[in-house]
Structure 1
């Protein structure tokens, strides 16, 4: 789905038409092009006019009112995981005198590009982003424009930016090992898009852990979630996929590993509606923790991510990068808190 924002043309469009870099376009159109030659400036302005580019006046007004804003570009702000990170970032930014602008991409690449272009257009003080893919192309123009950038929850190929995320492999291995220790040998993994770092790493770790036990097998339910947009739709699709695996498999899974709290809620709700008891009929574990999961009659075993620490660390990395642009790139991994409860039961 194409995302149409206030500007018909993006910085990338103008850069291609003018034969210059995106950073040059950013400098010229944001009024900071004193170091750009007159010839290149004219090329940029002509290309912008030809493509019907219009500056986002509302965003420019916001920038005047809230100087030194920090941009947050996340995939789903409804997801409690990202909401908690955003709150922690805002707390750190406020102490430094910075405002925060929150953007939601729904994992849509065009929408993500629009917001990243907007960050360059407005020359924000820095950007914290959970990128939709691991390819760095869309974010490199931020570096070219001199905008400090940190990735959170995801990494990029080559690690060109500071980053912070959890140790997905350690959390997954602990959860799946607990299922295997409870004698489960047919395990289903329901995850989000493997274009994102967490899903890919969790799926890899899940598959490797299952493969380490003779006779254990893994079925992966991922395809239908690739295009899921928003928390409600992801929950519904995850629940439907879980029931399909139970009802149509020649040897139905006895346990589910869920990639995040949204998927976990969807599967839990679907199992309850279908009369499947956890863990008596089927075991259930997953990433992230919510208050609900601990309040169930049989509380869920989960790998809780330190969301507040993720947000604080991302903000601290960003401000350190602002203070020392030439410092070596840093990558931080935080350990999840694996909470063993009562949702694994016994295998069949």
Structure 2
């Protein structure tokens, strides 16, 4: 039998039949709460054995001057920009950011989280691979604030800063359809990454709601790198010409640039005359590509700044209510999706 997780403020709220915010007010500002709520929350705390972690509060409030940041792919300029935004915000508070790249490897992810826990960082920002809820709960129990980056917290247990990838996927395919494309391939993977699934889900919504007959297929990749994009392009070119799609929606810009490189170098398909390509993230290389790449823009630096600000606030007040910050994506149209 595994170790029992510590009682959380959310457990207390559920037992008392009140909101998490009410519990937080009872603990920190009881004069602002009704007497009935104070009684109900106090009874729930006693029944559940909730212990307020004042040692954690002190650690979070100022002993540590470092924050850990774990990203999925350190070679992706999108994450570099997110980290840069976090560093910009951290410098305003006299905080240093320790950075770790998992390269989409769960073992490396565990290694960095263990390291940051040992270092007793003030907080951890993480763009996770798969579901790591239990591991993040352990960090929080040890007094380390945690915020999800580029990933929405579906159950609301943790604060998160993300972009609506479903909306972004829908925008990309709606744009391709408006440009006259009907045989569209979504290129991306692995599907253990939530963002890949969300972008594909949005693409499917756009295809289903278009009112036209749209053939949407999936070309799976093992990673989201330029090399995987080149390989996916080669697989598409190996098909009979009648089976070629007339548009590609890549799960990120690195894949899109690899697809563009494969098709242009081979010279067998013209972009955008034969095939349109759109990516996701709008990294700096997108506009400078041989054929300037259309993309779905994420406010990368704003994501990093916001996540760093939230983790510091939660470090100072461990009873604060987790919040979900969701930015909206933006369609950036360039030559790679020009209408025929």
TM-score by length of 2: 0.77
| Aligned counterpart for 2:214 among listed residues 210, 216, 226 | 216
Counterpart-to-counterpart distance in 2, 1:163 and 1:144: 18
- Residues 273-284 of structure 1 aligned to structure 2 (within 5 Å): 273-275=265-267, 276-284=269-277
Q: Shift of residue 323 of structure 1?
A: 2.1
Superposition RMSD in Å: 2.2
Counterpart-to-counterpart distance in 2, 1:68 and 1:202: 36
In structure 2, do the counterparts of structure 1 residues 316 and 135 end up closer, same or farther at CA, with 3 Å as the change threshold? same
Task: State yes or no: 1:88 paired with 2:85.
Answer: yes
Task: State yes or no: 1:182 paired with 2:179.
Answer: yes
| Aligned counterpart for 2:229 among listed residues 222, 228, 238 | 238
Q: Does 1 or 2 have the higher relative contact order (CA < 8 Å, sep 6+)?
A: 2
- Residues 99-110 of structure 1 aligned to structure 2 (within 5 Å): 99-110=96-107
How many residues are aligned here? Answer: 281
In structure 2, do the counterparts of structure 1 residues 116 and 246 end up closer, same or farther at CA, with 3 Å as the change threshold? same
1:158-197 deviation per Cα after TM superposition (whole angstroms, max 9, x unaligned):
2311100112122222221111112211100111322222
Q: Shift of residue 21 of structure 1?
A: 6.5
SS, match of residue 312 in structure 2: helix
1:120-162 deviation per Cα after TM superposition (whole angstroms, max 9, x unaligned):
1221110000110135123221112121000100134523111
Q: Shift of residue 117 of structure 1?
A: 1.4
| Aligned counterpart for 2:335 among listed residues 314, 330, 342 | 342
The residue that corresponds to 1:158 in the other structure is 155
In structure 2, do the counterparts of structure 1 residues 20 and 134 end up closer, same or farther at CA, with 3 Å as the change threshold? closer
SS, match of residue 277 in structure 1: coil
Counterpart-to-counterpart distance in 2, 1:156 and 1:134: 10
Q: Shift of residue 300 of structure 1?
A: 2.2
Counterpart-to-counterpart distance in 1, 2:283 and 2:322: 33
The residue that corresponds to 1:13 in the other structure is none
Task: State yes or no: 1:329 paired with 2:314.
Answer: no
In structure 2, do the counterparts of structure 1 residues 298 and 270 end up closer, same or farther at CA, with 3 Å as the change threshold? closer
CA contact (8 A) 1:283 1:343 kept: yes
Counterpart-to-counterpart distance in 2, 1:295 and 1:123: 42
The residue that corresponds to 1:262 in the other structure is 254
Counterpart-to-counterpart distance in 2, 1:288 and 1:206: 15
Task: State yes or no: 1:312 paired with 2:312.
Answer: no
TM-score by length of 1: 0.75
Q: Give ranges in structure 2 of 5+ residues lacking alignment.
A: 7-62
Moved over 4 A (4+): 19-23
Counterpart-to-counterpart distance in 1, 2:291 and 2:116: 46
SS, match of residue 65 in structure 2: coil
Counterpart-to-counterpart distance in 1, 2:152 and 2:290: 37
Task: State yes or no: 1:289 paired with 2:282.
Answer: yes
